[in-house]
Amino acid sequence: MPSRHDNSFYGLAIGFTVAAGAVAVGPISGGAFNPAVVFAGATMGMFAPSTLWVYLVAQMCAGVAAGLTFRTLNPSDK
């Protein structure tokens, strides 16, 4: 079985995932898919500082959900 280092499609898959997210919810969220982008956008005046908590809470909840999903689907992976 080939290792993950022999597969050059990981970058392509990640790129398409980010592009799909940007097309699907970019107009709603401004394309802020990680906290660094949110803080950079706030610094440049793209997001109002009073709305930063909305982005950060949603991203933290998504991270917890992803972790729990991984643990549920891969119980033997420690």
Same domain, 9 and 38: no
Q: Write out the chain's pLDDT in tens, 78 residues.
A: 556 667 778 888 888 988 898 889 888 777 778 888 888 888 898 888 888 888 889 889 999 999 999 999 999 887
Same domain, 20 and 37: no
Q: Which residue has the tokens 């699907």?
A: 24
Asked if 38 and 47 touch (Cβ cutoff 8 Å), the reply is: yes
pTM: 0.60
pLDDT for position 72 = 95
Q: Which residues of 29-66 are buried (b: 16+ CB within 10 A; e: fewer)?
A: bbebbeeebbeebbeeeebeeeebeebeeebeeeeeee
pLDDT for position 5 = 66
Supply the range of the domain harboring residue 14.
1-30
Same domain, 23 and 43: no
Give the span between the Cα atoms of 26 and 31, in whole angstroms.
4
The pair of three-digit structure tokens given for residue 68, joined into one six-digit string:
């729990």
